[in-house]
Structure 1
Amino acid sequence: MEINDDAASNLEQLLESLIKMVGNANKNVDNLQKRVSQLEWLIREQKLEIKERGPIQIYSRHLHESVNKFPINL
């Protein structure tokens, strides 16, 4: 009977450990899912902001000066 009691006790401990491990894994998955959702939201917001702003154009402050300093020779 002692062997059966020890085996049952070991199985019970193993089951408890597995339950804790699964619980921790689920917490990690939940945290990752929250992070993914946050990143997806940020990406959507940035896309909307870029769409509203229109294309980006870069202008030089000294256009004529820079053309004279760095002529393009073909």
Structure 2
Amino acid sequence: MTSHDDVATSLEQLLESLIKMVGRANKNNDNLKNQLIQMNENIDSLQKRISQLEWIMKGQLKDGPFRNYPTHPHTHTPSEIHDHISVHF
């Protein structure tokens, strides 16, 4: 027959082993969470870039190969612009 001390020692070793296993599992879980966060950030960044490219492509399709930015002629002279600026003291 085994003594009570041998059973207690075996149970203690089993408990220590289980504690170590749980610790490793928690560490792995934390690493996986960090990797998932990083992957989500990368996906968000890629989605932003895709949206930017889509916006540029839509503009290119609408405006043709080169963008024509409208120019507005200045119809006011500098003195007319000055007359419309209000200065408060």
Question: What's the TM-score, normalizing by structure 2?
Answer: 0.59
Is there any run of 5+ residues in structure 2 with no aligned partner, and where? 66-89
State which structure, 1 or 2, has the greater radius of gyration over its C-alpha atoms.
Answer: 2
Structure number with higher helix proportion: 1
1:10 paired residue among 13, 19, 31: 13
Deviations 1:17-49 (A, max 9, x none): 011011101000100000110011011000000
State yes or no: 1:46 paired with 2:49: yes
Q: 2:37 matched to which residue of 1?
A: 34
Sequence identity (%): 9
How many residue pairs get matched? 56
- The RMSD of aligned alpha carbons is 1.3
Tell me how far apart the structure 2 counterparts of residues 40 and 52 of structure 1 sit (CA, whole Å). 18
User: More relative contact order in 1 or in 2 (CA 8 Å, sep 6+)?
Assistant: 2
Question: What's the TM-score, normalizing by structure 1?
Answer: 0.70
